Structure 1
């Protein structure tokens, strides 16, 4: 999928679903597309980038042919959306090892803190044109 900005997220994660809702709200120019890591497209990418096909503890951002994970993915997503959200890029001055550590700690506790859905229902996002697979 060349020239696409695709966000791969854990479809059953409450935090991930909230993040997608936020992005749908702030992406006024429809720059982003979304798919779940559990879906066909997500599984194909996980295999391609050599991540375990049940490794859903990271958001993945594919910008054209470049693939970003964890905190780097979040920074690149905000950079792509632009505007006020570029403010968060200030945290890129921190070492990636540190920001990824924070990301991993939140990811490890995300179900306890934000809940887990039985399954992902993309119809709840009410933006069918922005979802793949």
Structure 2
């Protein structure tokens, strides 16, 4: 599990699920794996890094013993997708103290702004091995 970064996402969030589907579509190198925070693998990893899987407040990218969260996680995901998405990594020049408050505001309001899923989406058959 540690050879590929794992993206932990809130599967009940419409925005988060859309982002997960975007990653599966645009990750041509098949670098990332995904795990819903509400699933067994995702919940275990969340607890390992101090996140309550029943009330997630961030997206997390786990790579080995390291975890990125908030805007660092989002930027790492897009930088890892390759061209043209990796250009978003340039936002790292913006100090985290400015990036993270915006990220946290969206995270706190994500259900109100984007909605909540009533059921989980299923990956395409060719991507099923990438969803844990």
Distance in 1 between the 2:50 and 2:64 partners? 18
User: What is the CA–CA distance in structure 2 between the aligned matches of 1:84 and 1:63, rounded to whole Å?
Assistant: 23
Structure 1 residues not aligned, in runs of 5+? none
**Runs of 4+, deviation exceeding 3 Å:** none
The gaps in structure 2 that reach 5 residues or longer are: none
Residue 37 of structure 1 pairs with residue 57 of structure 2: no
Residue 70 of structure 1 corresponds to which residue in structure 2? 70
Alignment: residue pair count: 130
Task: Give distance in 2, aligned partners of 1:63 and 1:81.
Answer: 15
Matched, 1:28 2:28: yes
- Is 1:117 the equivalent of 2:117? yes
Q: CA separation in 2, counterparts of 1:31 and 1:66?
A: 16
Deviation string 1:86-117 (CA, Å, 9 cap, x unpaired) is 21112111111211111011112211221101
Map of 2:102 onto structure 1: 102
| CA 1:4–1:65: 2 relative to 1, 3 Å | farther
CA–CA separation in structure 2 for the residues paired with 1:53 and 1:131: 17
Relative to the length of structure 2, the TM-score reads: 0.90
Separation in structure 1 between the aligned mates of residue 100 and residue 128 of structure 2, nearest angstrom: 31
